[in-house]
């Protein structure tokens, strides 16, 4: 099927903004906190994303500032969460004030918008805000705090109050009241804040994570939590705290030790697609519930995507532009039509001429190349052939790639070796399918990300992996466990 420009923008943005979920939590009395995760309609959120032309920069923003990752605090990067799929409800204060938060194993702080957020902060206005003066258990702190993102800083100050998660009260829990949220990611987000489930070593201002305080309060005796992420259903899954749910996995767990406290980091033995191998000799990996893809070093991901027949979304969009407008563009350029004016006329740039996401940039690149070639008086066929070569060299933002949905059943298996066991992902597991019927598009679940030493290089095993394999975060034994999801 020929993709429209609108379809391509959806694909470009899909990695950064995929389906979101809400949750209901309860305490069963069996020392296991259960948080039910329910999916919402992804297309509603994606339309908002497309309308605002947001780019898929989540992973780069999360892992870019690595130099001070295990330092004292303020430079620690946190997730953009534009692609977070699963979130749920907690309460703060007495009487309880409800908030929807992302459960993220890639960060360790809790923060929610503050009622002290200025009126100019629209993203605060459309989300639930914590009102300190309405809580009898509020305790002031006032220490200024900031969480740094690629798109700006989330600013606020520390407070403490009773936090309830899954029916369990955690008194005197430190958290951040946020007074500034930058960018459209927070404006469009279906969540109010973030509840980090990483280790205390990466907590900004050394605020003890909620999870640690639940243990200190002896609210749970088994120091584990686990994610079951459902596939293709309105039932998004379940987060259990204090134990595992046997009905959500089959077979035995493979356990591997946490190799570095901060993120939930472990050693991955290797990875292979057919006769091509990756992570040779072993490599560091992270289990990250706040990332929807599998991310790895750019060079290896590029080779992996090529192996499964995926092409960059920008290259694909570029070729579609040639197919739809190539002859028209050459004819117009021979008549000396302005590059920007032409791109506006075919809807690739907005009326002011400013860039509308990546499509405007791609259009200008194609048109400028065509202009130079047209001026050399070469034939239309030669000009289009040369432009196609330019398209092939255009990098996709963050390495996103698409595949032909009709070939899904012929794609190879991906084998991941962890702890001496093999974990297989079928094409249906690692390809993200957007839409249905003729509108269905297929996006590679692999994305390139180079993380500098000493933290990197790293492979980030997000929801593409965790949906297929039930993942246990065992704090008590300092290990991670993986078993086949049901």
* Dihedral sign for Cα atoms in the order 307, 62, 8, 330: negative
Tokens of 404: 């032909």
C-alpha 443/C-alpha 398 separation (Å) is 13
Report which of 318, 339, 336 is spatially closest to residue 375, judged by C-alpha positions: 336
Using CA atoms, how far residue 183 sits from 124, 352, 402, in Å, is 12, 21, 27
Q: Which two tokens stand for residue 336?
A: 């000396």
Closest to 4 in 3D by CA, of 443, 444, 370, 439 = 439
CA 414 to CA 124: how far, in whole Å? 42
Give the residue from 115, 5, 10 showing the smallest Cα distance to 440.
10
Torsion of CA 62, 64, 70, 76, to 10 degrees: -60
**Separation CA 119–CA 459 (nearest Å):** 40
249 within 8 A of 259, measured Cβ to Cβ:
no
Q: What is the DSSP letter of 468?
A: T
What lies within 8 Å, CB to CB, of 460 at 6+ separation is 59, 63, 285, 286, 288, 291, 293, 294, 295, 296, 449
Residue 352: φ, ψ to 5°: -80, -10
CB 81 within 8 A of CB 16: no
Joined together, the tokens standing for residue 463 give 């929801």
Pair of tokens at residue 455: 């933290």
Catalytic site residues? 104, 288
From residue 135, alpha-carbon distances to 131, 157, 179 in Å are 7, 17, 18
At 367, is the secondary structure helix, strand, or coil? helix
CA 199 to chain centroid: 20
Instruction: State the DSSP code for 85.
Output: -
Q: Which of the 8 DSSP states describes residue 200? A: G
Contacts of residue 46, Cβ cutoff 8 Å, sequence gap at least 6:
10, 13, 14, 17, 18, 434
């Amino acid at each position: 099927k020929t993709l429209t420009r609108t379809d391509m923008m959806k694909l470009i943005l899909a990695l950064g903004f995929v389906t979101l979920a809400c949750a209901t939590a309860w305490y069963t009395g069996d020392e296991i906190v259960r948080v039910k995760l329910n999916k919402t309609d992804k297309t509603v959120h994606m339309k908002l994303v497309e309308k605002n032309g947001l780019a898929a920069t989540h992973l780069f923003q999360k892992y870019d500032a690595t130099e001070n990752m295990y330092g004292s605090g303020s430079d620690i990067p946190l997730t953009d969460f534009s692609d977070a799929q699963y979130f749920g409800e907690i309460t703060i204060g007495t009487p309880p004030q409800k908030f929807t938060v992302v459960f993220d194993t890639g960060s360790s702080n809790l923060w929610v918008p503050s009622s002290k957020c200025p009126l100019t902060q629209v993203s605060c206005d459309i989300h639930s805000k914590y009102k300190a003066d309405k809580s009898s258990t509020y305790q002031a702190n006032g220490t200024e705090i900031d969480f740094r993102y690629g798109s700006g800083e989330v600013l606020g100050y520390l407070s403490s109050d009773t936090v309830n998660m899954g029916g369990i009260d955690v008194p005197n829990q430190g958290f951040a009241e946020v007074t500034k949220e930058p960018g459209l990611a927070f404006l469009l987000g279906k969540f109010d804040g973030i509840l980090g489930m990483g280790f205390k070593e990466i907590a900004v201002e050394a605020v003890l994570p909620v999870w640690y305080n639940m243990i200190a309060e002896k609210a749970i005796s088994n120091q584990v939590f686990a994610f079951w992420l459902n596939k293709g259903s309105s039932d998004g899954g379940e987060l259990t705290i204090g134990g595992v749910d046997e009905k959500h996995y089959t077979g035995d767990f493979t356990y591997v030790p946490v190799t570095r406290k901060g993120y939930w980091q472990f050693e991955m033995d290797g990875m292979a697609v057919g006769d091509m191998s990756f992570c040779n000799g072993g490599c560091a990996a992270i289990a990250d519930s706040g990332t929807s893809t599998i991310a790895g070093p750019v060079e290896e991901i590029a080779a992996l995507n090529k192996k499964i027949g995926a092409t960059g979304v920008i290259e694909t969009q570029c070729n579609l532009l040639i197919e739809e407008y190539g002859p028209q563009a050459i004819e117009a350029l021979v008549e000396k039509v302005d590059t920007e004016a032409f791109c506006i006329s075919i809807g690739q740039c907005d009326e002011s001429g400013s860039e509308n996401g990546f499509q405007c940039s791609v259009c200008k690149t194609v048109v400028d190349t065509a202009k130079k070639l047209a001026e050399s008086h070469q034939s239309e066929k030669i000009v289009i052939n040369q432009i196609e070569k330019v398209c092939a060299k255009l990098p996709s933002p963050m390495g996103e790639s698409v595949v032909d949905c009709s070939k899904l059943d012929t794609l190879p298996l991906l084998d991941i070796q962890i702890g001496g066991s093999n974990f297989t992902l079928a094409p249906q597991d690692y390809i993200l399918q957007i839409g249905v019927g003729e509108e269905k598009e297929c996006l590679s679940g692999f994305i390139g990300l180079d993380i500098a030493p000493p933290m990197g290089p790293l492979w980030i095993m997000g929801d593409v992996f965790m949906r297929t394999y039930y993942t246990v975060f065992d704090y008590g034994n300092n290990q991670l466990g993986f078993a086949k999801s049901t």
